[in-house]
Structure 1
């Protein structure tokens, strides 16, 4: 089977969608598929194209049996709503050209990853012309995120955007997404249940384990055994609302053993650093993204993990960082409303993490004060067992591949086949 992935993000990006796309495509290639990825040059979460790649030129490469076509795109230095839309539109256009250049090399199936839905029209047109099967894999609901986070006001524009979203989603042969609540969201947007596939993000549970010793990295970063290290690792963007962590650090700065560590990059990192400097927060530390081989040590050295999001984000954007925290048996504080997927998981798996009200500094401070009183030297067995049962990389990828095979083998209504 020949498969084509179309997505903004791909390895060597170290976080989020790019990391998962790279692992997925390489796993498919290992299983004997012919895999091509039409992607952007790596730029996320730094919002800066990595060295060795070009913004405005097509580049091709082969990596671990995957053919890569890197497409030009606009990467703004300062991310605003308008610049983000232009960023997405340029990739939709350039990746569309790359796709149609392969008109006579058609794959059996195209997987389009959302974001960005901007790519959907040309993808669907190509599929109609060539008879290629299509899967829309939703990592983030772009439209829900934009309006749920208040980036654009509700009104006529929101209504039009949601109608276009429903129309585009209806054109795909199947729609996959990463959580059950996001599947319910797809149903509410008109996608029939028979077309839906649960394809969650995963963890390499044999690599990220509670047995990893993080003491050497902890010492290298200057933290003592008495310190309580609270770690946020990942995208330092606006949608997370990480200013609340700085507010908690301000309130807890009289305790010299409580240390807040941000590891990552993103559009909001300079603002966060400036705020920490202005507030003279000596208990806050910023570290760059760490290479994958150091991630287990980084997770192991933290006492408490912070998974911070604004209200309205938890079911539009399920934080990918949580999978590795659970695999490591980490103790986590998660900001999400009780009705969301994250809230329901906590209810179904008592002790897996503590889910608290988003955007409440008082609640976050209280939760941190309670958490540091507990014995964090022992790993969270509930979290680890959940990862082993539901987040194993090979199991998840094999299950999804079986669905893809059924889709491509069917010549008519395959909705019944993939259930």
Structure 2
């Protein structure tokens, strides 16, 4: 049969601030990517110890690094300090602990053919990719291929929300992130509006090589269930949602969603019922920086139909998402082209209609209207939000809502599944591989020795 060369998997290094079992949406996406790539790549992930809540269990408090395997993926976990999500200083200390720890961990992972990082932590995620590109070599002795995925543009997001206001800091941060884009071999954005922002950053001149790939949901883990499913019933019983018309927000209760403003609209429906006699219930599933503010608002305004529910473990997420009759998908004003709410994919995954509060021309606003799976208002247009809420309540249990949900799920299955998006990444990497190898000089033996032993 002749000599057959053994197959050696290319090596892929992924930087993931959060990773399983943390419930951060980007962590779940990166877990899907890492495990989805493991059939063709030898995958290593550099991430923090489980810490999304701000707390860290005792088992992760004794060492600087923890080596683990999860579903065929090698993890290097970085020890970081506990933090308070309500404190900027506490969060910043935590982010930099990950950044510097990840740089040290990079020296331990050996040769890598591909480097993949996302725009989290803000600015630092891209800088880690640049560092690894300069620090590591591929198995061929060349510079690794660096792919930078923009989930959120920063400092644009911080500017839009007013989270940071020091002009010199914002200017420096933007220049650093533009450098990360420029030094990448491929920039991936997760929405059409984010793609336009990338072009605007560079004034449409010498824009880095880029493409758009949507985020996704794992259709084998998140899918529609019958409302009499025992898991949904158990969820409803545990959190007081039985026999109610549930309008749910699922995800981070953070600064980028104007949830405080939306609470004032929900207040107008605190005594609302549907035509079939069900109480209208607003359920918030998750946690975040403004959780306590929302709870106080509920208590001060006697909103007994508002429920706060903790993050659900990954194996129970299917039940919480299916428990809703309608889902919120929202962003604050100024976020268009800056951030893309991934929660839409979970909503479509369970086949539910969407009440959107999104700027016109943003990726998810366009998808909702193109699919016909919900109604959308502009951020801060509370009159329109109230009108749409009233429409959904009046249509409770109708075939119109069921059809919206069906269209959302049908579109997802054809375009936005885990396999579809990950295969786009694989094709992109293969497409660029040959030309990138040709464009990078081959390292000589002394360069190889310097990078692998320094």
Instruction: Output the TM-score relative to the length of structure 2.
Output: 0.83
Aligned residue for 2:222?
208
Q: 1:397: Cα distance to partner? A: 0.8
Structure 2 residue 412 is the aligned partner of structure 1 residue 412? no
Equivalent in 33, 48, 51 of residue 40 of structure 1:
48
Separation in structure 1 between the aligned mates of residue 422 and residue 287 of structure 2, nearest angstrom? 28
- Residue 43 of structure 1 aligns to a residue whose secondary structure is coil
Partner of 2:124: 118
Mapped to 2, the partners of 1:384 and 1:230 lie a distance apart of 18
Counterpart for residue 251 of structure 1: 268
| Structure 1 match to 2:212 | 198
Kept in 2: contact 1:41–1:50 (CA 8 A): no
Cα distance between partner residues in 2 of 1:82 and 1:182: 29
Structure 2 match to 1:128: 134
SS at match of 1:47: coil
Give TM-score scaled by structure 1 length: 0.89
Q: How does 1:113-192 map to 2 (within 5 A)?
A: 113-116=118-121, 117-129=123-135, 130=137, 131-153=143-165, 155-190=167-202
Q: Distance in 1 between matches of 2:236 and 2:197?
A: 41
The aligned runs of 1:31-70 (5 Å cut-off) are: 31-44=39-52, 46-49=53-56, 52-54=59-61, 57-70=64-77
Q: What is the DSSP-based 3-state SS (H/G/I as helix, E as strand, rest coil) of the residue aligned with 1:295?
A: helix
Structure possessing the higher radius of gyration over alpha carbons: 2
Following the alignment from structure 2 to structure 1, what is the Cα–Cα distance between the partners of residues 241 and 95? 41
Q: Could you tell me which runs of 5 or more consecutive residues in structure 2 were left unpaired when the two chains were aligned.
A: 1-9, 138-142, 274-278, 441-454
Residues in 1 aligned to 2:24 and 2:131: alpha-carbon distance in whole angstroms: 31
Residues 1:302 and 1:24: Cα distance change in structure 2 (over 3 Å): same
Q: Which moved more, 1:81-90 or 1:319-328?
A: 81-90
Q: Distance in 1 between matches of 2:63 and 2:225?
A: 45
Deviation track 1:25-63 (CA, whole Å, cap 9, x = no partner) reads: 11111x14211001111222x233356433973211111
Measured in 1, the distance between the counterparts of 2:62 and 2:185 equals: 32
**Whole-Å separation in 1 of the counterparts to 2:310 and 2:414:** 31
Aligned-residue offset at 1:223: 3.1
CA contact (8 A) 1:326 1:383 kept: yes
Tell whether the 8 Å contact from 1:74 to 1:91 is kept in structure 2 after alignment.
Answer: no
Greater shift after overlay, 48-57 or 149-158? Answer: 48-57
Q: Distance in 2 between matches of 1:171 and 1:234?
A: 33
Q: Distance in 2 between matches of 1:97 and 1:170?
A: 24
Q: Is the 8 A contact 2:13 2:112 kept in 1?
A: yes
Deviation at 1:122, TM superposition (A): 5.0
Provide the rounded CA distance (Å) in 2 between the counterparts of 1:55 and 1:245: 43
Residue 36 (structure 2) aligns with: 27
Superimposed CA distance per residue, residues 157-200 of structure 1 (whole angstroms, 9 cap, x where no aligned partner): 43333222212210111111211211222222238567213222
How far residue 119 of structure 1 moved from its aligned partner, in angstroms, is 4.2
Q: How far, CA to CA, are the matches of 2:378 and 2:62 in structure 1?
A: 40
- The alignment's C-alpha RMSD in Å is 2.4
Structure 1, unpaired ranges of 5+: 415-419
After superposition, what is the alpha-carbon deviation per residue over 1:344-398, rounded to whole angstroms, capped at 9, x for unaligned?
223433x222111213433322211111111446252221222112111112111
Are 1:365 and 2:386 an aligned pair? yes
> Counterparts of 1:282-293 in structure 2 under 5 Å?
282-293=304-315
1:374 maps to which residue? 395
Distance 1:194 1:119, change over 3 A: closer
Question: What does residue 354 of structure 2 align with?
Answer: 332
Alignment-derived partner of residue 267 in structure 1: 289
Query: Measured at CA, do residues 251 and 56 of structure 1 come closer, stay the same or move farther in structure 2, by a change above 3 Å?
Result: farther
Aligned length, in residue pairs:
408
8 Å contact from structure 1 (residues 326, 384) kept in 2: yes
Q: Secondary structure of 1:187's match? A: helix
1:50–1:275 Cα change, 3 Å: farther
The residue aligned with 1:390 is: 415
Distance in 2 (CA, whole Å) between partners of 1:333 and 1:179 is 19
